[in-house]
């Protein structure tokens, strides 16, 4: 049978007659007039080429054909009803689900260790896959569901993408503990003359501010990831400038010290972003709310 030839509303009529065994009770339950109910049953009989129900003293008794399709019709109606029902709360404690998050090495070092530790305690069956780079296809990947959530310093533009401002960062500088010329205070002269290792960026905020003051720094090395910086600073007389929370994480593991920069640089916003198609999903809402609350405590 081609489903386009049958009114699927008739399946509800069939299921109600089957359960009530009475056209009168079925029409009352569906808020239909008895003539309308009789007409619906006639259309269903014609579509299925079967009487479906026989009027007896005991009520409307199903034919063998009606009994045959009763189960599949009930299952189909249940699936439709459950699919359209308002989604309930996400039971994260027992849920089994995997989320893919595109996040920078800042997020890997500062946010994820704390998040997965908390996750293991409250939602042990929730799995997380980290995508380390926000490539040029990030919008398509969010749109298609290949990535559930993305973290970056810049918001994705467009009405179809939503975001939350998770927190702000500010920049500090870092040198090795036994640096021969820099002690516990970083002068502006040292900042611009000591060789820098810096993150490869299109428009580094540090150089933008320095340029506004008519200054430039001594850039000796550019690296693609923050993680390279403490490893290089630890073994050289170089200096680096990076987000404070990340610098404090690295200072715990490397022989480095964190210093206040001699100039004030703009705060760096941290955003979480997602596509509108998952905005109402209870599991996704739980994930982004949990990450946002964690960031507020960092």
pLDDT tens per residue, range 143-152 = 888 899 999 8
Cα 202 from chain centroid (whole Å)? 27
Q: Which residue has the higher pLDDT, 73 or 110?
A: 110
Kindly tell me if the per-residue pLDDT of 109 is higher than 80: yes
Write b or e for each residue in 4-28: b if 16 or more Cβ atoms lie within 10 A of its Cβ, otherwise e: eeeeeebbbbbbbbbebebbebbbe
Kindly tell me if the per-residue pLDDT of 3 is higher than 60: no
Kindly tell me if the per-residue pLDDT of 84 is higher than 70: no
Secondary structure class of 54 (helix, strand, coil): strand
pLDDT band at 1 (very low <50, low <70, confident <90, very high): low
Give CA–CA dist 172/196, Å, rounded.
13
Kindly tell me if the per-residue pLDDT of 81 is higher than 70: no
Q: If you average pLDDT over residues 16-29, what whole number do you get?
A: 88
Tell me what pLDDT residue 5 has.
59
Instruction: Write down the mean pLDDT value for the chain.
Output: 88
Pick from 191, 201, 253: nearest CA to 223: 201
Tell me what pLDDT residue 225 has.
87
pLDDT band at 165 (very low <50, low <70, confident <90, very high): very high
Give the pairing type, strands 171-176 and 59-62: unpaired
Q: What is the pLDDT of residues 246-260, one digit of tens each?
A: 999 998 888 899 999
Kindly tell me if the per-residue pLDDT of 214 is higher than 90: yes
The Cα angle at residue 261 between residues 256 and 264, in degrees rounded to 5: 150
Q: Which residue has the higher pLDDT, 212 or 48?
A: 212
Tokens linked to 52:
């479906």
Kindly tell me if the per-residue pLDDT of 82 is higher than 70: no
List, in sequence order, the alpha helices (H) in 111-194. 112-122, 138-144, 188-193
Q: What domains appear along the chain, each with residue ranges and CATH number?
A: 3-84 (1.10.10.10), 97-167+270-297 (3.40.190.10), 171-266 (3.40.190.10)
Q: If you average pLDDT over residues 132-158, what whole number do you get?
A: 86
Pick from 64, 53, 63: nearest CA to 26: 53
Tell me what pLDDT residue 4 has.
59
Tell me what pLDDT residue 30 has.
87
Q: What is the pLDDT of residues 259-293, one digit of tens each?
A: 999 999 999 999 999 999 999 888 899 999 999 99
Kindly tell me if the per-residue pLDDT of 133 is higher than 70: no
Tell me what pLDDT residue 175 has.
97
Percent of the chain with pLDDT over 90: 52
Q: Which residue has the higher pLDDT, 265 or 80?
A: 265
Q: What is the pTM of this model?
A: 0.68
Tell me what pLDDT residue 185 has.
94
Tell me what pLDDT residue 215 has.
96
Tell me what pLDDT residue 202 has.
63
């Amino acid at each position: 049978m081609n489903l386009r030839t049958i009114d699927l509303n008739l399946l509800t009529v069939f299921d109600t007659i089957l359960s009530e065994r009475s056209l009168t009770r079925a029409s009352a339950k569906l808020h239909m007039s008895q003539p309308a109910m009789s007409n619906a049953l006639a259309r269903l009989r014609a579509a299925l080429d079967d009487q479906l129900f026989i009027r007896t003293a005991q009520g409307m008794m199903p034919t063998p054909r009606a009994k045959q399709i009763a189960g599949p019709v009930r299952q189909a109606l249940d699936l439709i009803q459950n699919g359209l029902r308002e989604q309930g709360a996400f039971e994260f404690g027992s849920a089994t689900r995997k989320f893919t998050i595109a996040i920078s090495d800042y997020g890997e070092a500062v946010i994820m260790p704390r998040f997965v530790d908390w996750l293991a305690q409250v939602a042990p069956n929730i799995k997380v896959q980290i995508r380390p780079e926000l490539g040029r296809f990030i919008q398509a990947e969010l749109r298609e569901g290949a990535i559930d959530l993305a973290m970056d310093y810049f918001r994705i533009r467009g009405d179809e993408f939503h975001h939350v401002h998770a927190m702000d960062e500010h920049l500090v500088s870092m040198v090795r503990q036994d640096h021969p010329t820099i002690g516990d205070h970083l002068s502006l002269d040292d900042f611009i003359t000591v060789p820098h290792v810096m993150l490869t960026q299109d428009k580094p905020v540090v150089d933008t501010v320095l340029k506004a003051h008519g200054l430039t720094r001594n850039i000796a090395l550019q690296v693609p990831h923050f993680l390279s910086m403490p490893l290089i600073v630890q073994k050289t007389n170089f200096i680096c400038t990076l987000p404070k929370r990340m610098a404090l994480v690295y200072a715990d593991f490397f022989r480095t010290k964190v210093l206040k920069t001699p100039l004030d640089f703009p705060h760096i916003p941290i955003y979480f972003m997602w596509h509108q198609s998952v905005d109402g999903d209870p599991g996704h809402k739980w994930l982004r709310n949990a990450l946002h609350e964690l960031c507020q405590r960092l």
